[in-house]
Chain A
């Protein structure tokens, strides 16, 4: 079994209509429940907007904090899921379900080692 990161990329700007958003959340919840039932689910979570980010980095002996995301861009990481799958096709199948449900691109990326 391998582990894969399924990362959701969201465009900057307003969210979908509340009604549409409720439908999306319901659909994503259903997928998560299926992941849990089939034993594929490891972790999942949605993130606050990147304006809530803080970057901490080493600056000589000190630590320096900066407000905002590490990378500025028109799209940002909106949340992610980690799944277990036998191979890439298994992970892509879950990624495809999420892409359909959210209408957003999902990056599927393998972890180095099964932990």
Chain B
């Protein structure tokens, strides 16, 4: 690429793609997230200046890492007590030996597990992961989660201090703790995806960049831990759901539910990838919650329309999900399948047993079941409650539209 073709957005793209790798390597060399992060930041700032006039180096990421190392060493030299300066510099240079690709992969994995350590608050896990592995700026992370930049910056500082002070290790958990620790990592990735797919507040329904980031993190994790089926499961789940994004909003910006989506608009390539992963998981026959949820989405993805959907199979999968990983959300979604298989009355009975009156989705599903049973006044009250609880404007609009379809509206 010549300098003329190289825009800031290309460099920004390299930044996003390589940030995690660079920070992870620097953390191993210098043992500190702040030093690593600042040094990588400085290196990218230099790259922005240099590359736009002289073009890309042969290995951009190699250039970034080498430059970042020099910046980190400069900083340590500056900050080290006078007598220790020589020693520091020597240590740092020693740490700068070239690294094997497999070692780099392990570095990234260690950093993921440190960022998603269960001793950190979930919101801090998400913020650290997006910041360090995803290369999002503090501003971008703050905007994604609807919090002020100062608040978010403070949370990040607190989390990084805790990692340092409490001695959270950069370590891949050992076999006995691995399943539980991996679950935390997957929860973080799925939180990022869900926030992207249905922003919990605000005017926009979808934040595609967060969905893409979650999928990128899952792909990275698959590359690093290819034998973990739940990693494949979560990747398949997100690919299958994200494939429907183009059909999920109408031209006038309204939410289109799965049943009414134009399925020709779905991203077939993403679906094919998702289905391949699901088939592989099923063949391995070691089901886990993400694999089962992916299998449920696969049934939807394979159906030409809502009428030809194999609801029996979906209900069976929900039963399996409830038996190995029961959760309120799974129980709630199960009632939707139950309505298709055993009718709205059976589903309503089941739904009303769930302790979920505080979620808008509970009331939205309840309203829909009541409407199907012809109990319109009750359906209206449920829609009212659902609307009052929904925080996303597009979702609220969708519920208001649904309420309009009731008799006597």
Chain A residues at the B interface, C-beta cutoff of 8 Å: 2, 85-89, 91-92, 108-110, 112
Name B's interface SS: loop
| Contact indicator A89/B169 (Cβ below 8 Å) | yes
| Contact indicator A87/B167 (Cβ below 8 Å) | yes
* Nearest chain B CB to A60 CB, angstrom units: 36
| Contact indicator A2/B119 (Cβ below 8 Å) | no
User: How far apart sit A92 and B117, CA to CA, in the bound complex (Å)?
Assistant: 12
| Contact indicator A89/B165 (Cβ below 8 Å) | no
User: How far apart sit A88 and B166, CA to CA, in the bound complex (Å)?
Assistant: 6
Q: Which of A87, A109, A110 contacts B169 (CB 8 A)?
A: A87
Give 9 nearest A-B pairs by CB, closest first.
Answer: A87-B169, A87-B167, A2-B167, A110-B166, A88-B166, A88-B167, A88-B168, A110-B165, A89-B169
Q: Could you write out 18 A-B pairs with CB less than 8 Å apart? A: A2-B167, A85-B167, A86-B167, A87-B168, A87-B169, A87-B171, A88-B119, A88-B166, A88-B167, A88-B169, A89-B168, A89-B169, A89-B173, A91-B167, A110-B165, A110-B166, A110-B167, A112-B165
Residue of B nearest to A89 (CB): B169
User: How far apart sit A22 and B196, CA to CA, in the bound complex (Å)?
Assistant: 53
User: How far apart sit A2 and B163, CA to CA, in the bound complex (Å)?
Assistant: 13
The digit string for B151-169, where 1 denotes a CB below 8 A from any CB of A, is 0000000000000011111
Q: Which of B159-198 contact A (CB under 8 A)?
A: 165-169, 171, 173, 177
User: How far apart sit A48 and B166, CA to CA, in the bound complex (Å)?
Assistant: 29
| Contact indicator B165/A86 (Cβ below 8 Å) | no
Q: Which of A85, A86, A92, A112 contacts B119 (CB 8 A)?
A: A92
Residue of B nearest to A110 (CB): B166
* Nearest chain A CB to B119 CB, angstrom units: 6
- Number of B residues with CB within 8 Å of any CB on chain A: 10
User: How far apart sit A88 and B177, CA to CA, in the bound complex (Å)?
Assistant: 14
Which A residues touch B167, using CB under 8 A?
A: 2, 85-88, 91, 110
| Contact indicator B171/A89 (Cβ below 8 Å) | yes
- Known: A87-B171, A89-B173, A89-B177; 15 extra A-B contacts, CB below 8 A, are A2-B167, A86-B167, A86-B169, A87-B167, A87-B168, A87-B169, A88-B167, A88-B168, A89-B169, A89-B171, A91-B167, A92-B119, A109-B166, A110-B167, A112-B165
Which B residues touch A86, using CB under 8 A?
A: 167, 169
User: How far apart sit A85 and B177, CA to CA, in the bound complex (Å)?
Assistant: 17
Which B residues touch A2, using CB under 8 A?
A: 167
* Nearest chain B CB to A110 CB, angstrom units: 5
* Nearest chain B CB to A96 CB, angstrom units: 10
Residue of B nearest to A1 (CB): B167
* Nearest chain A CB to B174 CB, angstrom units: 9
Residue of A nearest to B118 (CB): A92
Q: Which of B101-139 contact A (CB under 8 A)?
A: 117, 119
The digit string for B191-228, where 1 denotes a CB below 8 A from any CB of A, is 00000000000000000000000000000000000000
* Nearest chain B CB to A92 CB, angstrom units: 7
* Nearest chain A CB to B153 CB, angstrom units: 23
Residue of B nearest to A112 (CB): B165
Which A residues touch B171, using CB under 8 A?
A: 87, 89
User: How far apart sit A61 and B165, CA to CA, in the bound complex (Å)?
Assistant: 36
